[in-house]
Structure 1
Amino acid sequence: MFSLNQFKQKSPQQRFLFILGLFMILIFLTIGIILVFFSDMLNLDQDKFPTKYRIAFAIVLVVYSAIRFGRIMNQKDT
């Protein structure tokens, strides 16, 4: 699991990539949540992006962000 000591021992490049990975997880999760709960504010055309496809895409984004989070937390230092 995540250990603060491992984070301190990483090189600057590894720390940057770790933070970038967390940032991308946050972006994917945010886009997924926005597509499900706040799509009315986006004024998406229902003919071009139907509701069932929009929700399916949002679920894929949320699941993908969970998979990325799991992979980052289970990373082993080599």
Structure 2
Amino acid sequence: MFKELLNNIQKKSLFGRFLLVLGILFFLIYLVLGLMIMFWDKLPINMDPIYRYAFGSLLIVYSGIRFLRLINSNKE
């Protein structure tokens, strides 16, 4: 599977590779932001802990959805 993924990346145009890197970057941004909101206590957001965990979880789930879409679009 990894060889197929690498072969598909090499077949893409420069713009396609740029969009792939951008998609990976935003996946990581949403994942780290969700973890920061959940677990970093000194983050200057004035929210109740239950809302912080809910919002952080929502961001992590959204990053997972973006990752799955990125993997599925890369198979084409």
- Aligned residue runs from structure 1 range 49-68, under 5 A: 49-68=47-66
Point out 4+ residue stretches in structure 1 off by more than 6 angstroms.
none
Cα deviations by residue, 1:4-50 (Å, 9 ceiling, x for unpaired): 00000101111101100000000000001111111x121432xxx22
Code of the residue aligned with 1:27 in structure 2: it is I
Q: Which runs of 5+ in 1 are unaligned?
A: none
Aligned CA-pair RMSD: 1.4
Q: TM-score, normalised by structure 2?
A: 0.86
Give the Cα separation in 2 of the matches to 1:35 and 1:24: 16
Number of residue-to-residue matches in the alignment: 73
Higher helix share: 2
Structure 2 runs not aligned, ≥5 long: none
Aligned residue for 1:42?
Answer: 43
CA distance in 1, matches of 2:44, 2:39: 13
Identity of aligned residues (%): 44
Shift of 1:52: 1.3
Query: What is the TM-score of this pair, normalised by structure 1?
Result: 0.84
